[in-house]
Structure 1
Amino acid sequence: MRFDPWNPDFVAHPYDVYAELRREAPVSFFEPTGQWLVARHADVNALLRERRLGRSYLHAATHEEFGQPAPPDFQEPFWRVVNAGMLDVEPPVHTRLRRLVSKAFTPRMVESLRPRVAAIAAGLVDAFVAKGGGDLLAEVAEPLPVTVIAEMLGVPESDRRLLRPWSAEICGMYELNPSIEAQHTAVRAASEFAAYLKDLARERRRNPGEDLVSALAQIAELTEDELVGTCVLLLNAGHEATVNVTGNGWWSLFRNPAELARLRADRSLLPTAIEELMRWDTPLQMFERWVLEDIEVNGVAIPKGMEVALLFGSANRDPEVFADPDRLDVGRADNPHISFGAGIHFCLGAPLARIELLESFGALLDKAPAMELVREPVWNPGYVIRGLKALEVTV
């Protein structure tokens, strides 16, 4: 099998192909998407920190000047939302936005959320156990981070059912060569979510609460589009990865019963286990950046105007960095995985994600100590954001 992100067999198990890329073509051009694939940990890690690359090029050139086609007009509402969030901008705009938003993600602020996260996780798991199990993704993995980020933003409980569908539909645009239908769906979801957030922000300017939307709405230097883009990013980034680490992680443990037994017997391993599950079956397989100036990677010249596709899933299995990388080891101590990225775009919510995962896995280990898989799960078709359709278990 070759690198084929639209092939369900490849999506289910890309790691043999990654090993071949690292050995034989660590930097290679992928014609179907016009991207340079980068497979080794050292190169991926370096390029995440490389300032001659950017998540966007629009701070430096127009589409035409950069040799790229402009997006079709119907996508304008989507890019208006996405390009106003900090993930898809570069300094100095990125610096300003991250400084403003990071006030809500200080270590003290995040740690203060732990009791609430623990209570939400415990309640979800109690309900799950009471009914004898079911779809772990739909009933535990998804509601936990969505509830946490919704409470942080101040989204009323009656509206929270809207958030997960909006997020999933918006993220469809990030897949490689998305279908026209997926593009239109993403545009509609972005438009609906933006309208909702604008209304919520206006209401919170008049009647502020203790939530993040209220705080952002009071910041004069934050435009309405930037407020919307920030909130959309916090929802998408704040739960997509957590959901998929939970699903992929439990599926990984079921496939490695000796490691699951080891974790059940020694709960002190949980922190290293969470890091290892993020490494071993990475939820975000690819992170893309634009080449703003000519660069050379591993002896390969990549000119300005190209896009590099950093293969996180491959970097996290690189034997140059990880001993016996294809083995799941819940006690792995030396684990410099890059599932949260690196450099200025390092995941701002990483500390919160770790708390959510520790509390979720901990509650399931405590309250469902004999949890078993009902049937082998099926992967979603998406490759970039890679996760399961469902994970059916009994308790």
Structure 2
Amino acid sequence: MNTVTCPFSGATATPAPAAAPASTPGHPAPVADWVRIEDLHQDPFPIYQRLREEAPVHWVPAVNRYMVTSYAAAHEIEQDEARFSANERNSLMKRSMGHSMLRKDNPEHQVDRDAYGATLRPGTIKKHWMGIFEKNHATWLANLREAGPGADFVWDYAAPYTAENLRLICGFHNATQQDMQRWSQTMIDGTGNYADDPQIWAKAAQSSAEVDAAIDEMIPYLAANPDHSLLSNLATVPIPLEAIRANLKMTIGGGLNEPRDVLANTVWALLNHPEQLAAVRKDPALHAKAFEESVRWIAPIGMYPRETTQAVVLEGIELPAGARLGVVLGAANRDPQIFEDPESFNIFREKKPHLAFGGGVHFCAGTWIARAQVAQVALPAVIDQLPQLRLDPEQASTDAGWVFRGMTKMPVLF
């Protein structure tokens, strides 16, 4: 994963707006002017610990928004779209990818989401996509083997495997997995272009135009030659072309790096906890537990935006109408009020609901696809087929990011 800056912040930081009167007494948000983007990118978790201990919500000038770090506050926001809107104004994601379902409230959100149902429902995954995932796994595990000792687990296996899966899920028969990786990264960089770098915008715009052209070419083809892909299904439903384009771009972004990062994070965590890896090898039922603990421990999307529609008091903190929020799932999923010893990776911990895939009406539509290609196909196969897999002691693995966090380098031996 390349460097990821905050994809939801503004170009410059501004002072915290004064809170409007609220019906329930509260306190102004404390200002965390000590938080820096560079530190979040390197390792956000000590920062989250300090923020949670001080208050559930802070105004953070560096990201030009309120950061929500407690589990209770994040959960309240997810369940209440009437007060916490997904349709954020001045969204960099809208500029980079268009107005997708992620930045819509109901009923508009549900119209777009329903169009994804046939492709992503569990029955279709089981009957159609599982065989494709297994085939792609075999192809890219062979690629990892051919690269030899010191191969990078992320870039020689996890990234092309998940990119090829997504290419077929989307229906881009006129593109390659390399195209998918490039489109995903450059458009995500656009959503994080808080410095308003013209080169980043140019690359994002180029990828956006390429995706539009690929969609325009595939829609009539798939209308005549239908398959199980998203584009094939979208070609038959009455939603505007611009919505189709925006939703596919959103899918290219999150649908690639989320499973890629979860797969690499989970394997990396298990390799660093040999007793847990040994347990997973003995009991296949633990593959699913390892996946769920991994996404709790390092949420695939660490932060997403919301905007208040009215003055509210959130966990005792006053927020004005129009407040720009960053719901930090990477912090909420390590809240010690919910999870015992939350900083540790532990597949044997007591089962409690995490927030890694969101909640409420915006619960991630790709959750079952991610679980299938990672927890049911790739993770069991990698553990079984590479019994001597281990991290390369001569080349350190690295991870980075906070909005999206994952392994940026993971040399392995086998």
TM-score by length of 1: 0.88
Match of 1:383 among 402, 405, 412: 402
Q: 2:203 is aligned with what amino acid?
A: T
- Tell me which moved more, 175-184 or 385-394: 175-184
Q: Does residue 126 in structure 1 map to residue 142 in structure 2? A: yes
Q: Which residue of 2 aligns with 1:116?
A: 132
CA displacement at 1:325 relative to structure 2: 1.1
- Tell me which moved more, 41-50 or 243-252: 243-252
Percent same amino acid among aligned pairs?
A: 23
Q: Distance in 2 between matches of 1:249 and 1:47?
A: 28
Q: Distance in 2 between matches of 1:178 and 1:363?
A: 42
CA displacement at 1:367 relative to structure 2: 0.8
CA contact (8 A) 2:266 2:290 kept: no
Q: Which residue of 2 aligns with 1:308?
A: 325
Q: Which residue of 2 aligns with 1:372?
A: 390
Q: Which residue of 2 aligns with 1:255?
A: 272
SS of the aligned residue for 1:389 comes to: strand
Q: Which residue of 1 aligns with 2:19?
A: none
SS of the aligned residue for 1:287 comes to: strand
What do residues 353-395 of structure 1 show as CA deviations (whole Å, max 9, x unaligned)?
Answer: 0011121111110111111112222334x43112222211111
Gaps of 5+ in 2: 1-31
Gaps of 5+ in 1: 58-62, 64-69
Q: Which residue of 1 aligns with 2:87?
A: 56
- Tell me which moved more, 31-40 or 177-186: 177-186
CA displacement at 1:244 relative to structure 2: 0.9
Q: Distance in 2 between matches of 1:384 and 1:300?
A: 23
Q: Which residue of 2 aligns with 1:66?
A: none
Q: Distance in 2 between matches of 1:173 and 1:154?
A: 24
Q: Does residue 321 in structure 1 map to residue 338 in structure 2? A: yes
The 1:271–1:80 alpha-carbon spacing in structure 2 relative to 1, beyond 3 Å, is closer
CA contact (8 A) 2:172 2:215 kept: no
Q: Distance in 1 between matches of 2:386 and 2:95?
A: 43
Q: Does residue 31 in structure 1 map to residue 61 in structure 2? A: yes
CA displacement at 1:93 relative to structure 2: 1.2
What do residues 34-73 of structure 1 show as CA deviations (whole Å, max 9, x unaligned)?
Answer: 211111111111111212111214xxxxx6xxxxxx68xx
Q: 1:313 is aligned with what amino acid?
A: G
Q: Distance in 2 between matches of 1:272 and 1:316?
A: 15
Q: 2:208 is aligned with what amino acid?
A: A
CA contact (8 A) 1:29 1:36 kept: yes
Q: 2:85 is aligned with what amino acid?
A: G
The 1:141–1:297 alpha-carbon spacing in structure 2 relative to 1, beyond 3 Å, is same
CA displacement at 1:120 relative to structure 2: 1.8
Q: Which residue of 2 aligns with 1:15?
A: 45
Q: Which residue of 2 aligns with 1:95?
A: 110
SS of the aligned residue for 1:339 comes to: coil
TM-score by length of 2: 0.84
Q: Distance in 2 between matches of 1:209 and 1:253?
A: 37
Q: Distance in 2 between matches of 1:16 and 1:201?
A: 47
CA RMSD of aligned residues (A): 2.4
Match of 2:232 among 214, 221, 225: 214
Q: Which residue of 1 aligns with 2:411?
A: 392
Q: Distance in 2 between matches of 1:174 and 1:210?
A: 29
CA displacement at 1:338 relative to structure 2: 0.9
Q: Does residue 5 in structure 1 map to residue 24 in structure 2? A: no
